[in-house]
Amino acid sequence: MPAEGAIEQAAPAGKYDAEIDRLFSAGGPLAPSVGAFSPRRSQTEMAKSIAQAIADQKTLIAEAGTGTGKTFAYLVPALLWGGKTIVSTGTKNLQDQLFLRDIPTVRTALRAPVSVALLKGRSNYVCHYHLERTLNNGRMTSRDDVGHLREISRFIKMTSSGDKAELTKVPENATIWNLVTSTRDTCMGAECQYYQDCFVMKARREAQQADVVVVNHHLFFADVALKDTGVAELLPSANTIIFDEAHQLPDTATLFFGQTVSTSQILELCRDVLAEGLAHARGGPDWAKVVTAVEKAARDLRLAFPQDIMRLALAQIMPSSDFFPALATLKEQLAAMIDVLEDQAARAESIEQCRVRAVELAAGLDAWKPDNKGKVVEGDQAVLWVEAFSSALQLHKTPLSIAPIFSNQREGTPRTWIFTSATLAVKNDFKHFSAQMGLEGEEAKNWPSPFDYEQQGLLYVPNGLPEPNAFGYTDAVVDSALPVIEAAGGRTFFLCTTIRAVKHVAERLRTEFAERGLDFPLFVQGERGRTELLDSFRTAGNAVLVGSQSFWEGVDVRGDALSLVIIDKMPFAPPDDPVLAARIDVMEKQGMNGFMHHTLPEAIINLKQGAGRLIRDETDRGVLMICDPRIITKSYGRRVWQSLPPFKRTRVQAEVIEFFKPKDPA
């Protein structure tokens, strides 16, 4: 499969090459529409390759380094020649940015007569039925909910979309949203009295009619798996599918192509069965008794594991564990409740809806079938594992590979599939991503960043740090980082691989800043929302932000506010991950090295994302400090740093301190 840089080995001139050269030129229509637009060869060449893929109805894997301008590189050909196009992004924030800013900019510049729609999951839209029910029932769980409910009641009378992102007065994670939005399980569908006014249905109708539809990966794969989000209705008519931030696809697809049943889902069902039973069939069975038996069985299943938070593969659960008899009891009690619901379903649509939910949950539990030795029959290339939280237990059935499932989804009508991100390859090799997604043999190209990394940045791996599993490693990292943070004048992202490390680093920095009289504002993941933390960080100009995974990607801080990115260690997946262990086991049975073929490429792609936070503009300067000595001491280290941007490299702290000294303007 080709993995060459497209610039060095460009394809023969394509059908739209001359037009793309004109559009992306200094005198073209994009320049006046974009404040700081300047022609970039890599952006123009990427746009040509995407236009060619659209013309040929082919698949293209496109890695574009930071600063290439990949969004415009795919939007221009998609809006002009892509036909019905679905653009899928990594997050709802990026989805909103595309819909509200990027697409309108390109559409106006090109005068492209295309209609655009935004489609999100149903939990993003206020539901008339559930809002009315909550207003009548008053099931408030906090004082904040009362004020938030009042705001939502006003909002629903004024909004045309019903999208909760428009209502900034109510936080996105406020508990009230669960009571005023629907789920696939609780939607009344065409039976609902508000069906004609439903915001979810309106969004789906608009998406059906639009030329370009913006979705997110969760929505796309939830639909492929559950047929519930409206994407399935769009796919048959779509000519072009573009996945931005495509490096996230393997994890997202795995999440949705698997099955999960949670004790919290069962308890939520029990609450609804009791409410609907008492409302519509009060003279029937003893609803409290029916529900209590299932609730107790669900709680007993959670109590089979005394640990607060843990993950166990099926093979790690002892045959003598309380888990297996507790699972059998829950299945029996849920079956008994289904019998009752079947008898009463004709009395109300909402009771029938509860019956359907119960049957689906029972089917999910059925995936866990113990054999006569107390083990569970796995089969069909899936791994079975449990995940315990403080008050819930989740039973997962996860496919070992999504490649055959996704390949099956791509079969049928010929269309264009574009997969793009800044991080898809490991040292210009796309095999890992291609194998995960079932894209072997498809064209893959790489366009390097236009940034001058050698002049703009420095990669620093400190001397003398212990191995990452050594006692006191995090303290050693902080000790090594403090002089560099001071030299940088704050302006630091301190990225950790675990939440525990985030807390420890934050405690140490708070103490050290106070003792050393360093007036650097300290922002810590979890203490406030991500957007609020980033806004405060940018505004402060000399802050230090400590975060874990959610700050490794999708974060754009340009200019002087961020000049130092510290990464505590290589982001290898946790060794207790049952899915990873099962995948590696399969690979090694096939004669491959699980670490080299899976664990290491995953970590490198993740590390590239973290490193990508540093240089976001042609004028940015900064230091990437990777504290993990393994990238020097281990044989695979060369593969790691050769996959990173080509910064100058040093192991000498004095050179880093010198880098941050103000340059003589003369």
Tens-digit pLDDT profile for residues 530-566? 888 899 999 999 999 999 988 888 888 888 899 999 9
pLDDT at 69 over 70: yes
| Contact indicator for 585, 378 with CB cutoff of 8 Å | no
CA 421 – CA 437 distance, rounded (Å): 14
User: Which of 306-315, 577-586, 631-640 is modeled with the greatest confidence?
Assistant: 631-640
Residue 282 binned pLDDT confidence (cut-offs 50, 70, 90): confident
- H-assigned helices in 160-262: 177-180, 199-209, 217-226, 231-234, 249-257
More confident residue, 462 or 224: 462
Question: Is 458:620 a contact under the CB 8 Å cutoff?
Answer: no
Q: In the predicted model, what is the mean pLDDT of the chain?
A: 88
Asked if residue 223 lies in contact with residue 67, where contact means CB atoms within 8 angstroms, the answer is no
Per-residue pLDDT of 466-495, as tens digits, reads 999 999 999 999 999 999 999 999 999 999
CATH match of 257-399 with 1.20.120: yes
Confidence at 567, pLDDT banded by 50, 70, 90: very high
| Stretch(es) of the chain classified as CATH 3.40.50.300 | 17-121+202-250+402-447, 453-659
Q: Could you tell me where the beta strands, DSSP code E, fall in 455-578? A: 457-460, 492-495, 522-524, 544-547, 564-567
Res 378: pLDDT = 52
Q: Report the pLDDT averaged over residues 90-113.
A: 91
**Look-up: residue for tokens 């303007």?**
665
Kindly report which listed range (250-264, 368-382, 612-626) carries the lowest average pLDDT score.
Answer: 368-382
Which of 550, 549, 157, 225 lies closest to 364 in space, CA to CA?
A: 225
Residue 609 pLDDT greater than 70, yes or no: yes
Assigned token pair, 411: 């079969």
Q: How far is CA 46 from CA 107, 375, 509, in A?
A: 19, 52, 43
The neighbouring-strand residues paired with 625 are: 460, 566
Both tokens of residue 525? Answer: 């993941």
pLDDT for residue 457 is more than 90:
yes
Reported confidence tier of residue 227, pLDDT bands at 50, 70, 90? low
Residues of the chain with CATH 1.20.120: 257-399
Cα 239 to Cα 265: distance, rounded to the nearest angstrom = 38
Cβ–Cβ under 8 Å, residues 3 and 448: no
In the sheet with 648-650, reading across from the earlier edge strand, the strands are 522-524, 544-547, 492-495, 564-567, 622-626, 457-460, 648-650
pLDDT above 80 (res 6)? no
Rg (CA), the chain: 27
pLDDT at 426 over 60: yes
Task: Please report which confidence band the pLDDT of residue 259 belongs to, taking 50, 70 and 90 as the band edges.
Answer: confident
Which band of pLDDT confidence, cut at 50, 70 and 90, is reported for residue 370? low
Residue of 349 and 80 predicted with greater confidence: 80
What was the pLDDT predicted at 316?
85
3-state secondary structure of 506: helix
Distance, C-alpha 229 to centroid of its chain: 17
According to the model, what pLDDT value does residue 7 have? 34
Residue 2's pLDDT is 37
Distance CA 318, CA 53 (A): 52
Contact 42, 65 (CB under 8 A): yes
How would you classify residue 236: left for phi > 0, otherwise alpha for psi between -120 and 50, otherwise beta?
A: alpha
C-alpha dihedral sign at 510, 512, 514, 520: negative
The two structure tokens encoding residue 643: 């996959």
Rounded to an integer, the average pLDDT of 135-148 is 79
Is pLDDT of 636 > 70? yes
Multiple choice CATH, 17-121+202-250+402-447, 2.40.240.10, 3.40.50.1000, 3.40.50.2000, 3.40.50.300: 3.40.50.300
Long-range contacts at 425-429 (CB < 8 A, ≥ 24 apart): 425/3, 425/63, 425/643, 426/600, 426/601, 426/604, 426/605, 426/639, 426/643, 427/639, 427/642, 427/643, 428/3, 428/4, 428/5, 429/3
Instruction: Report d(CA 230, CA 200) in Å as an integer.
Output: 9
User: Are 448 and 641 a contacting pair, CB within 8 Å?
Assistant: no
Lowest mean pLDDT among 44-53, 131-140, 450-459: 131-140
Pairing outcome for strands 382-388 and 393-399: antiparallel
Residue type (1 letter), 561: A
Q: Which residues contact 257 (CB under 8 A, 6 or more apart)?
A: 221, 224, 225, 399, 402, 405, 406
Angle at 92 between CA 86 and CA 94, to 5 degrees: 75
Mean pLDDT of 215-244: 80
DSSP letters spanning 521-533: -EEEBTTB-HHHH
What's the pLDDT tens digit per position in 151-177?
Answer: 999 999 999 999 998 888 888 878 889
Q: Kindly tell me if the per-residue pLDDT of 105 is higher than 90.
A: yes
Percent of residues, the chain, with pLDDT higher than 70: 93
Closest CA to 466 of 654, 282, 628: 628
**DSSP element (H, E) containing 394:** strand 393-399
Whether the CB-CB separation of 392 and 302 falls below 8 Å is answered with yes
Residue 46 has pLDDT above 90, yes or no: yes
Q: How confident is the model at residue 138 (pLDDT cuts 50, 70, 90)?
A: low
| Confidence (pLDDT) at 144 | 83
Q: How far apart are CA 47 and CA 74, in angstroms?
A: 6
The residues, any chain, with a CB within 8 Å of residue 664's CB and separated by 6 or more, are: none
Side-by-side strand order, sheet with 382-388: 259-262, 393-399, 382-388, 310-313
Q: Containing H/E element for 508?
A: helix 499-516
H-type alpha helices, 281-402? 287-303, 323-344, 349-366
CA distance linking residue 117 with residue 206, whole number of Å: 6
Nearest-angstrom CA–CA distance, 555 and 270:
40
Alpha carbon distance 445, 63 (integer Å): 6
C-alpha closest to that of 122 among 203, 58, 49: 203
Alpha-carbon gap, residue 523 to 336, rounded angstroms: 51
Say yes or no: domain 453-659 is CATH 1.10.10.1200. Answer: no
The structure tokens 């019903």 sit at 162
